[in-house]
Amino acid sequence: MVESGDERWRLAFGAIVGVSFDSKYLVVLDMAVLAAGVVATPLRRSFARL
């Protein structure tokens, strides 16, 4: 997503997170760290369009 700018990858990430929620709760920590990383990079502009 970073290099190509293709935002369709969000669907794949969402599906992975959805399946992970079914299997364990530690994914919440993983998603929090990922969100902090996105906020700290230029990728945050893609979320402004949501």
Residues 8-50: pLDDT tens digits? 778 888 888 877 777 667 777 778 888 888 888 887 777 676 5
- Does 15 map to a domain? yes
pTM metric for this prediction: 0.43
- Does 24 map to a domain? yes
- Does 1 map to a domain? no
Query: What count of other Cβ atoms lies within 10 Å of the Cβ of residue 23?
Result: 8
- Does 41 map to a domain? yes
pLDDT at residue 2 greater than cutoff 80: no
**Residues near 10 by beta carbon (within 8 Å), at least 6 away in sequence:** 1
* Total domains in the fold of the chain: 1
- Does 3 map to a domain? no
Structural contact between residues 47 and 38, judged by C-beta atoms closer than 8 angstroms: yes
Q: Range of 37's domain?
A: 9-48
**Residues near 18 by beta carbon (within 8 Å), at least 6 away in sequence:** none
- Does 33 map to a domain? yes
- Report pLDDT for 16: 82
Integer Cα distance of 5 and 26 in angstroms: 29
